[in-house]
Amino acid sequence: MSRISVRPEIQRLDAYAPGLSIAEIRRKYGLDQVIKMASNENPLGAPPLAQEVVRRYAAFAFRYPQGGNPRLVAALAALHSVEPARIVVGNGSDEIIDMLIRMLAEAGRHVIVCFEPCFSIYPIQGGIAGVQLRRCPLRKDFSFNFDALLNLVNADTRLVFVSTPDNPSGYCPPRAAVRDLARQLADHAPDCLLVIDEAYMDFADDENASSLLAAGDLPENTAFLRTFSKSYGLAGLRLGYGVLPPVLAKYYWRTRLPFSVNIPAEEAGLAALADTAFRQATLTTVHEGRALLRQKLTELGCTVWPSSANFLLFQLPEGTCSAQECFEALLKKGVIIRPLSSYGLQEHLRVSVGNPQENAAFLAALRDILASSAPDRDGKS
């Protein structure tokens, strides 16, 4: 009889909840056309230059990539005007999050701190590592209470995660507030690393006013994370990067799994960096689409939170359907958005900014659903 057992903390973990795929909704509802506005992917698709190099480098799938991905590291260092010794790359920024936790926090002893709700990879990877998690509630308007966050930090805290713009709200704190947080952590918890997850920072109205990294302000106790999944349109290739204190970058390269960034992904990343016209078109599409969606959702009676990301958090008008009912009704119409029960937000929804045709289709479908669920003059729906 086998005595193999899984660690109790692993048994208690909630799995990551990915957005539904177009293929499964087509099959389930027998639909020909389905649009996905659930996973904050690029509304214009993948960059043409990146598509070309993926086809070209597919022939090299039998080869291992060069260790350390030096060409991509050099390009990213040039992009951010930092020394290459600060740059790390990974199989998505998720890999870097996982490795930072493993490198810095000891199971059963150390603590990581983050806001709640937050990107679920922080608690999942912390749980896998056997590290205690302390969560600070967001304010009712989804803004950050940094004083309350700091109150959770103690001598055993090794990492504090802050995502800005935040997911799922899109809230983006002022750069000065983030700088002050880094300063206070350095004073009161010198063994703690502040991890600023800037996956959506490209979509901020003024990146330099919001990002320490963009402003070239790199506190010694701070790591920055970025991704190729959003504005660069490479979510399916799994490519992310970090700008770390050099000593942490050195140990990251020493401890991560080898060859986690494959040749097509690295070459696509280099091509995406070079395809500045595509990236600018993406930013324009998102900024215009975000403004339109916010205006139209507000006109429909929804409560919409300000966002600096490529998505909007919203709540349906009172007296209409529930968030889950709306989500399911949209699926039947071939529109996938994101319910937020996994974030503890039962009555909120998140919609990614799409291209103009996708935005129009989503709004038309939602308008029909709200009209059919609104109470009539006798108070019946």
| DSSP string covering 208-229 | HHH-TTTTT---TTEEEEEESS
Q: Can you give the three-state secondary structure of 25-40, one letter per residue?
A: HHHHHCCCCCEECCCC
Structural element, H or E, at residue 193: strand 193-197
Residue 227's nearest CA partner among 252, 253, 202, 257 is 202
pLDDT at residue 377, as a whole number: 41
The strands making up 111-116's β-sheet, listed across from edge to edge, are 87-90, 240-243, 222-227, 193-197, 157-163, 111-116, 132-137
The length of the chain, given as a count of residues: 381
Question: 3-class DSSP state for residue 363?
Answer: helix
- Give the closest residue to 125 by CA, choosing from 110, 112, 138, 108: 112
Assess contact for 32 and 343: CB atoms under 8 A.
no
* 259 vs 7: CA distance, rounded Å: 28
Give the pLDDT score at 8: 86
Task: Supply the DSSP symbol for 112.
Answer: E
Token pair for residue 184?
């206070």
The whole-number pLDDT of residue 179 equals 97
pLDDT by 10s per residue, the chain, length 381: 788 999 888 888 888 878 789 999 999 999 999 999 999 999 999 999 999 999 999 999 999 999 999 999 999 999 999 999 999 999 999 999 999 999 999 999 999 999 999 998 999 999 999 999 999 999 999 999 999 999 999 999 999 999 999 999 999 999 999 999 999 999 999 999 999 999 999 999 988 888 999 999 999 999 999 999 999 999 999 999 999 999 999 999 999 999 999 999 999 999 999 999 999 999 999 999 999 999 999 999 999 999 999 999 999 999 999 999 999 999 999 999 999 998 999 999 999 999 999 999 999 999 999 999 876 544 554
- Find where tokens 């190099």 sit: 53
Look up the CATH architecture of domain 8-46+277-372: Alpha-Beta Complex (3.90)
* Strand pairing category for 157-163 and 111-116: parallel
Question: What does the pLDDT read at residue 376?
Answer: 52
Q: Assess contact for 202 and 79: CB atoms under 8 A.
A: no
What is the C-alpha to C-alpha distance for residues 329 and 319, in angstroms, rounded to an integer?
A: 16
Question: Do 17 and 342 touch, CB atoms closer than 8 A?
Answer: yes
Indicate the domain borders of the chain: 8-46+277-372, 62-275
Per DSSP, the three-state class of 88 is strand
pTM beyond 0.85: yes
CATH 1.20.120.1200 fits 62-275, yes or no: no
Give the per-residue pLDDT at 17.
79
